[in-house]
Structure 1
């Protein structure tokens, strides 16, 4: 091969003929140094030598990165390796591997530092997104609520603060922990948090603590986050459980002799939607939230059934009993919800004055104009306040909405209704193997028992004519 002395001019002017795949020019100064060019690419310095009787070629680099003198020095160094019995290709591979290992180590270090800095709030958002498809809408909303920052104008509070402003919402109990790095969420930190929350809202704090334990269990099972936990589950400590206390059991329910008084008070509520809601709560044993979210499409007047969205089974179908049907027929169809929220203020001047006087006694301001505040959802938001008021007026203080659900189960004992029937109507999970795997009661069989329960409860309340005592049979729309 003809050799020439490499100069900058010769190197820069070297080109590969268009009719060839590649062309070489070799240096007369440095042994083995060449310049390789292709029609499409830029020229590059190469080294070619003989190692163990075989030709060895190694690319040094492009002419834009290597000067002639640097390329000559590199070629001499590679020839020395061959003279020492070393393969220059191994050296290059080792250098590349070392560079890749260094790059990978730097990337891993950066990822570890990023992981170390992860806050509880960032992981909490990943947790909610991961579990959202497995939760119900209400359960997901509860998790969002307990981590809210607060500070928003309260939609439920009507009593003004001393400075004349409306009260603002409090931060959710878990919000206090969101800014901490997950690695700093130690048992001591959680115990301190639990003690602080237990002073102001122990019941809600217990719920949040249980949700926090589930969240940390999820973190422990996730390989990305488990390394950040100080223990398998920092929230599972005896001290945290002690400071939050045990939840008190509720036993509020209506006695047989109280039914007439309760029905009389509830039927006297001036809002027919709330009145019907409370009566249907007692007569179906549904959970408060299940009844609130009942839609008209869930009520089948032809086949006398109602579809309840259930927190355990997804949904269940229960009988539409005669009195409940008469109550539903009398409700206005304002939107998709059966128990829709009130839209307009009464035009009766006396009613307006009574409302203003009521708000004045509470120290709040009555709504202005012809419209009152309505829930954003379109259905009743807080029927419990009306229930508490009417119960207090007839000496039934302490009876909660869930107490009505409890009353349904308790009062059915008077008729010796099978426990499984009551559980299926109320949406309780089967408690025995036979109930879980062998008994599937059809709707008609449930109707036989459910109508007996309704008829007996109404009889104890002194209600005998279902149509007259319930509601108008024509459906009102507006």
Structure 2
């Protein structure tokens, strides 16, 4: 094949004839260096040599990116590798791999917390409950939206919103400490929750192959950040026995019958708020008096359907699959009963959260000397001790004996006289109790 000395004019003027698939121009200065052109494509420098008896050809790059001296130097480098018994294709593959790795590292380094948080939520949502999912959304909300129930008021940014623009590598312990100190001045409880969620997020990011090394899994676990957020005070709110009449009186007066029934069932079952809110009609067996409730630890658990709870459920409208349905909720079920409960408690002179009702169930059981394992199993608490964990298996019939006794005692203390023969909505109250209907 004829060779010529490459010049800028010869390189720029080289074209492939239209009747050929490709055409080559070979350099007389650097052995193996050529210029390849096709009718439709742009010309490119190539190297051609013989490695272990086989002709190999590698693309170097186009004249717009490579000068003639650089292309000649690259061709000599490839020929030198062949002379040393090395395959220049390995060099190219290694170079491409190193370049791809460098690009991936640069892309990972540019990932912000906001981008990674969105990916984290999408990946982990199947393993979370609805409340946990909403907490993760609320932590990073931008704020500034009109509040549905408070005209003129707007939502505030979530505690983690100020961190979303930072790259993962910038989420260091000092940065998180400074953020916690600033946010904890106005909402320490929310910052403590945000820290817990952030800690789990940072561990997840550090375990992702493409983000490993960019996120410090211990950054949100620093002692100083926890100290500035403060410690949560032990919660002890619960209904006392003498408060049951006034609580039932005001809760039963709530205009929304679904919320009223839900709150009473929450107290009488000791369930977690989301476990009960996600109850479907298919989970309730009126014939065999049982309910299959979503469980935080075990996935599902069977609990008795006590007479008064069954009475409350039969009075509810069957709008959709949810027992505690809502025609205005996007999900079709009850999502925010706390407002109505706070209003009822304020009218009753009480201060209780929804979780306090769960605590109340456990506390009220103490009046009846119910075995601790019974109430714990009804509530879905993990078995405590070797005997509970490995030896005791309580069928739902045994739970029902104690659960019906618990319900009857609570209703008695509340002044509510109820029998299973009572018609839905026709309850009577004992004189001296919560007052006549």
TM-score normalised by the shorter chain: which range applies? 0.7 to 0.9
> Does residue 1:255 correspond to 2:246, yes or no?
no
CA contact (8 A) 2:315 2:424 kept: yes
Higher relative contact order (CA 8 A, sep 6+): 1
2:316 counterpart residue number: 331
Q: Aligned-pair distance for 1:382?
A: 2.6
For these two proteins, the number of residue pairs brought into alignment is 383
Query: Normalization by structure 1: what TM-score?
Result: 0.70
Rounded to whole Å, the distance in 2 between the matches of 1:296 and 1:5 is 86
Q: Aligned-pair distance for 1:279?
A: 1.4
Rounded to whole Å, the distance in 2 between the matches of 1:59 and 1:465 is 93
Q: Aligned-pair distance for 1:213?
A: 0.8
The equivalences for 1:73-472 within 5 A come to 89-90=82-83, 93-155=86-148, 158-161=149-152, 167-229=153-215, 231-341=216-326, 374-396=328-350, 398-467=351-420, 471-472=424-425
CA contact (8 A) 1:260 1:460 kept: yes
Query: Normalization by structure 2: what TM-score?
Result: 0.76
Distance 1:98 1:391, change over 3 A: closer
Q: Aligned-pair distance for 1:223?
A: 4.3
Q: Aligned-pair distance for 1:444?
A: 0.3
Task: Name the SS for the 1:265 alignment partner.
Answer: helix
Q: Aligned-pair distance for 1:261?
A: 2.1
Larger displacement relative to structure 2 (233-242 or 127-136): 127-136
Distance 1:316 1:470, change over 3 A: farther
Rounded to whole Å, the distance in 2 between the matches of 1:321 and 1:288 is 18
Rounded to whole Å, the distance in 1 between the matches of 2:274 and 2:48 is 78
CA contact (8 A) 2:81 2:88 kept: no
Unmatched tracts of structure 2, length 5 or more:
5-16, 21-27, 33-45, 63-67, 427-437
Task: Name the SS for the 1:248 alignment partner.
Answer: coil
Larger displacement relative to structure 2 (430-439 or 312-321): 430-439
After superposition, give the CA deviation of every residue in 1:156-176 in whole Å (9 maximum; x if it has no partner): xx2322xxxxx3322222222
Rounded to whole Å, the distance in 2 between the matches of 1:5 and 1:378 is 80
Rounded to whole Å, the distance in 2 between the matches of 1:200 and 1:333 is 43
Larger displacement relative to structure 2 (125-134 or 115-124): 125-134
1:39 counterpart residue number: none
Distance 1:464 1:96, change over 3 A: closer
Unmatched tracts of structure 1, length 5 or more:
16-28, 34-43, 79-85, 162-166, 344-373, 474-478
CA RMSD of aligned residues (A): 3.8
CA contact (8 A) 1:329 1:472 kept: no
The equivalences for 1:42-53 within 5 A come to none
Task: Name the SS for the 2:145 alignment partner.
Answer: coil
Larger displacement relative to structure 2 (304-313 or 415-424): 304-313
Q: Aligned-pair distance for 1:470?
A: 7.0
Structure number with bigger Rg: 1
Task: Name the SS for the 2:291 alignment partner.
Answer: strand
CA contact (8 A) 1:327 1:470 kept: no
Distance 1:466 1:401, change over 3 A: farther
After superposition, give the CA deviation of every residue in 1:165-191 in whole Å (9 maximum; x if it has no partner): xx3322222222121111111111101
